[in-house]
Amino acid sequence: MFYTELNAKIDYSRDNLRWNAWGAYGQDFFRVGQMQEILAFLSDEFKVSEIRKTPPVALEEVTLPKSALSPAQIRELSKISGSKHFSIERRERVFHSAGKSYYDVLRLSFNTLKHFVDGVIYPSKESEISKILEYCSKNQITVIPFGGGSSVVGGLEVLKGKGQKAVLSLDTTRMDSLIRLDKESHLATFQAGIYGPKLEKILNDQGFTLGHFPQSFEYSTLGGWIAARSAGQQSNRYGKIEEILTCLKVVTPSGVVETLRDPASSTGPDLNQIFAGSEGLLGIITEVTIKVHKLPETRKYFGIVFPNFEAGLNFIKEVNHREIPTSMIRLSDADETRLYQTLGTFGKKNTPLRWLKNKIQDAVLNFKSIGEDKCVILLGMDGTKLDVAQNFAKIKKVIPMFGGLYAGTHLGEQWIHSRYNMPFLRNHVMENGIGVDTMETSTTYDRVLHLHKEGVAALEKSIPGSIAMCHISHSYHEGACLYYTIIFPMDAKKPEDQWFKMKRTVSDCFIQNGAPISHHHGVGFDHKSWYEKSTSKPALLGLKAFKKEIDKKEILNPGKVFY
């Protein structure tokens, strides 16, 4: 049901994946005419007369230093994985030297990335990983675990540990098999290097789903989701990945850690919740057991229009406090609602029928006093026909309490079909002098409105003339995730400084408001200093001690999160 809705069957061979942008070659969802309209609209918004072309450099132009691995090291590492699965080739090294953040793509595009991994290894089993970690511990080689490579927080930033002389990327994607589907316990055990679509297809074929669909779904792996505490778009129903997790296996430099396969326990600190979020600092996650669900009988995804953001927020709060089961509630603020509405018109013909439809729409909204500040909610439900019908009836009682207007399933279905497309838009705009980035955090309901305003203000202050907007992407009993997007004309001279300033301003804003530096993107290198500022010192030192004990030579992903 879900897999077949994916836009493409993806060939993940490294040659087929873009090394400096999102996705696979040939995969695109924006037609030429549509992109021209979008770019024209943006240049109009930014009051620039013409879009400036900023094409990326070719792979061959990337200033790549010689691999720092010695011939002996190359020989030894090749022996562990087999020489076919070890590489110091340009393409492999560059592809593995950055994630997919704006800052990453910027540096790759303009050839300003400074540090590169010296080799890439693709182990096929845990014993090989143990050998790699042992060899690298002895030979002072930094190891950066790599799954889908989709980090947007500098999780793959190439940094060496103290005294270390070379950096090895450890790519887990050869380890991507189903180990066991336990249909009685509704648990599946997979090797952690598996990409989202393959995992979901295996489950779907047996009538199950994981239900974990982050924006990065097509290009991220199970291990990466766990390492960075990913959230799928349907997390209201299925939970964040750390809640979906039942147990895992991690290969560390001090040996293998396996957590117990139980539904709950009262046995000291929760080890799962230490390795979830460890972002490669504590070991390589190799095997994960996760909760799976029978494929839902039906789904209902629909739009609701509210007069303003506060009304939409109050609706979300009420639905969650009434404990009405939903899969997703996504509330765009007025600016995002407007932008999506505008983008939606591009590439479509203006027929008389469309004109009439719009007129009627406006009239209805007007009648309901829904005007300029209108905000759209996309609400999704999955389950049995009976459950969805009953829950929908409950939702329909809450909508009018906050002046909302049910807007049908068209918006919802549209969203499902285009849910993985947005990152491809960035590919285009960044080649045309336009920057786009996202930041996200979470807070309790009593502070959502305030933080929403503060975050948008911080963004707009950081890059004058930018378009800043926000949506609530995930919601909970006690609060919600605020997800911000900023679009801006790239600074022609110092685009990196422009980004630093933006990142700094917004991150300061989050932690000054007591909000975490991330809700589901992670900490990585980019957020490290804010993470440290907002974490109590004794706990931070405790984590460092934990890491130092497990990774005595400090070879694992240095310079990230808490180390």
Q: Which of residues 432-461 bind a copy of itself (CB under 8 A)?
A: 441-446
Q: Taking CB under 8 A as the rule, does residue 274 contact a copy of itself?
A: yes
Among 74, 228, 388, 458, binds a copy of itself (CB under 8 A): 228
Cβ proximity to a copy of itself, 230 vs 427, nearer residue: 230
Cβ proximity to a copy of itself, 283 vs 435, nearer residue: 283
Catalytic pick from 102, 135, 483, 563?
A: 483
Cβ proximity to a copy of itself, 119 vs 148, nearer residue: 148
| 367: DSSP letter | H
Q: Taking CB under 8 A as the rule, does residue 270 contact a copy of itself?
A: yes
Find the binding residues for a copy of itself in span 325-344 (CB under 8 A).
325
The CB-of-70 to a copy of itself minimum distance in angstroms stands at 29
Among 299, 426, 474, 553, binds a copy of itself (CB under 8 A): 474
Find the binding residues for a copy of itself in span 21-50 (CB under 8 A).
none
What is the SS3 string spanning 376-407? Answer: EEEEEEEECHHHHHHHHHHHHHHHHHHCCEEC
Residue with structure tokens 């190359």? Answer: 74
Among 107, 212, 471, 521, binds a copy of itself (CB under 8 A): 521
Instruction: Say how far apart CA 181 and CA 419 lie, in whole Å.
Output: 28
* CB of 431 closer than 8 Å to CB of 53: yes
Among 256, 295, 343, 365, binds a copy of itself (CB under 8 A): 256
The CB-of-317 to a copy of itself minimum distance in angstroms stands at 7
Task: Point out the annotated binding site.
Answer: 145-151, 279-285, 426
Q: Which residues contact 23 (CB under 8 A, 6 or more apart)?
A: 17, 218, 219, 423, 424, 427
Residue with structure tokens 């003339």? Answer: 465
Among 71, 163, 263, 352, binds a copy of itself (CB under 8 A): 263
Cβ proximity to a copy of itself, 339 vs 523, nearer residue: 523
Pair of tokens at residue 507: 């991150």
Cβ proximity to a copy of itself, 317 vs 428, nearer residue: 317
Amino acid identity of 25?
A: Y
* CB of 166 closer than 8 Å to CB of 68: yes
The CB-of-461 to a copy of itself minimum distance in angstroms stands at 24
The CB-of-325 to a copy of itself minimum distance in angstroms stands at 8
- CA-derived radius of gyration, the chain: 24
Please give the sequence-ordered ranges of beta strands (E in DSSP) within 445-497, or none if there are none.
Answer: 467-475, 479-489
Compose the 229-248 pattern: x for residues touching a copy of itself by CB under 8 A, - for all others: xxx--------x-x---x--
Q: Taking CB under 8 A as the rule, does residue 125 contact a copy of itself?
A: no
Find the binding residues for a copy of itself in span 177-216 (CB under 8 A).
182, 184-187
Residue with structure tokens 């422009």? Answer: 498
Compose the 154-183 pattern: x for residues touching a copy of itself by CB under 8 A, - for all others: ----------------------------x-
Instruction: Say how far apart CA 156 and CA 256 lie, in whole Å.
Output: 23
The CB-of-506 to a copy of itself minimum distance in angstroms stands at 15
* CB of 541 closer than 8 Å to CB of 563: no
Phi, psi of 489 (to 5 degrees): -70, 125
Among 38, 276, 378, 411, binds a copy of itself (CB under 8 A): 276
Among 166, 516, 525, 556, binds a copy of itself (CB under 8 A): 516
Find the binding residues for a copy of itself in span 54-83 (CB under 8 A).
none
* CB of 205 closer than 8 Å to CB of 188: no
The CB-of-452 to a copy of itself minimum distance in angstroms stands at 14
Find the binding residues for a copy of itself in span 479-508 (CB under 8 A).
479-481
534 SS3 class: coil
Please give the sequence-ordered ranges of beta strands (E in DSSP) within 477-527, or none if there are none.
Answer: 479-489
Q: Mind giving me the DSSP string for 536-549?
A: -HHHHHHHHHHHHH
Cβ proximity to a copy of itself, 118 vs 454, nearer residue: 454
Report the first-to-last Cα separation within the chain, whole angstroms: 42
**Catalytic-residue membership of 340:** no
Task: Point out the annotated binding site for FAD.
Answer: 145-151, 279-285
The CB-of-392 to a copy of itself minimum distance in angstroms stands at 13
The CB-of-545 to a copy of itself minimum distance in angstroms stands at 4
Q: Mind giving me the DSSP string for 124-181?
A: -SHHHHHHHHHHHHHTTEEEEEESS---SSSTT---PPTT--EEEEEE-TT---EEEE
Instruction: Say how far apart CA 334 and CA 310 lie, in whole Å.
Output: 10
Instruction: Say how far apart CA 508 and CA 497 lie, in whole Å.
Output: 16
Find the binding residues for a copy of itself in span 358-397 (CB under 8 A).
383-384, 386-387, 390, 394
Catalytic residue positions? 483
